[in-house]
Amino acid sequence: MSDIVRTLEDLGRTVRAARRARGLTAVELARRSGRSRDLLHRLETGRDVSAAALLDVLRAMGHSLSVAPAGMPTLEEMRERFAKDEEE
């Protein structure tokens, strides 16, 4: 997973894409990770899960987590961020 992840939604999309790229069903990944299918669904839909659960899921896919400086957000990321503020 080399995608830049800045939000829980980004994380969910990235994990789902990695799972699909490995040819794993959600049920199979849940079994391999020792986590529930519900937890995997929450993760893939951008909801909050524990760091331990995330690491279990990544490990079960043969992935790891790397932390890097965020850098400046893209113009599209800024538009999305401020659009959410205007909706509230």
Q: What is the CATH number of the domain that holds 15?
A: 1.10.260.40
Query: What is the reported pLDDT for 29?
Result: 97
Q: Is residue 18 part of a domain?
A: yes
Q: Is residue 76 part of a domain?
A: yes
Domain that holds residue 52: 8-87
Q: Is residue 52 part of a domain?
A: yes
Q: Is residue 26 part of a domain?
A: yes
Confidence of residue 74 (pLDDT cuts 50, 70, 90): confident
Into how many domains does the chain fold? Answer: 1
Q: Which two tokens stand for residue 42?
A: 């929450």
High-pLDDT (> 70) share of the chain, %: 92
Query: What is the reported pLDDT for 62?
Result: 95
Reply yes or no on whether the pLDDT at 1 is more than 50: no
Q: Choose among 33, 38, 41, 36: nearest CA to 57.
A: 33
Q: Is residue 66 part of a domain?
A: yes
Q: Is residue 39 part of a domain?
A: yes
Average pLDDT, stretch 43-61? 96
Query: What is the reported pLDDT for 88?
Result: 60
Q: Choose among 45, 35, 37, 58: nearest CA to 10.
A: 45
